[in-house]
Amino acid sequence: MKINEIIELTRAELIGNTTQDICSLNRIEYAGIGEITFYAKEKYLTYLQTSNATAILVPSDWKDSPKENQVFLKVPDPYGAFLQLVLFFDSRRKRDLQGIHSTAIIESSAQLSDNVFIGSNCYIGDNVIIGENTIIYSNSVIERNSFIGNNTIIYPNVSIYEDTKIGDRCIIHSGAVIGSDGFGFIENSDKSFTKIPQIGNVVIEDEVEIGANTTIDRAFVGSTIIRKGTKLDNLIQIAHNDDIGENTAMAAQVGVSGTVKIGNRVRLGGQAGIAGHLEIGDDVIILAQSGVPSSITQPGVYVGSPPRNKMHAFKIEAVINNLPEMYKDIKRIKNKLELD
User: Which candidate, 137, 125, 127, places its Cα nearest to that of 100?
Assistant: 137
User: Which candidate, 95, 71, 60, places its Cα nearest to that of 2?
Assistant: 71
Among the listed residues 173, 240, 277, 312, the single catalytic one is 240
Q: What is the pLDDT of residue 94?
A: 66
The model's confidence at residue 177, banded by pLDDT at 50, 70 and 90, is: very high
Q: What is the pLDDT of residue 264?
A: 98
Q: What is the pLDDT of residue 14?
A: 96
* 231 bridge partner residues: 209, 249
The model's confidence at residue 340, banded by pLDDT at 50, 70 and 90, is: low
Phi then psi for residue 243, to 5 deg, are -130, 105
Active site residue 240: yes
Q: Give CATH for domain 3-94.
A: 3.40.1390.10
Q: What ranges do the domains of the chain cover?
A: 3-94, 99-310, 311-340
According to CATH, the superfamily of the domain at 99-310 is Hexapeptide repeat proteins (2.160.10.10)
The model's confidence at residue 271, banded by pLDDT at 50, 70 and 90, is: very high
User: Which candidate, 213, 229, 296, places its Cα nearest to that of 261?
Assistant: 296
- Give the containing element (helix H, strand E) for 46: helix 45-50
pLDDT-above-70 percentage for the chain: 99
Give the CA-trace dihedral at 290, 292, 293, 298, to 10 degrees. Answer: 140
Query: Which amino acid appears at position 147 of this protein?
Result: F
pLDDT at 45 > cutoff 90 = yes
Pairing of strands 237-238, 255-256: parallel
- pLDDT tens digits for range 86-111: 999 887 776 667 899 999 999 999 99
pLDDT at 319 > cutoff 70 = yes
- pLDDT tens digits for range 116-167: 999 999 999 999 999 999 999 999 999 999 999 999 999 999 999 999 999 9
- Cα separation of 43 and 304, whole Å? 32
pTM of the model: 0.87
Q: What is the pLDDT of residue 95?
A: 63
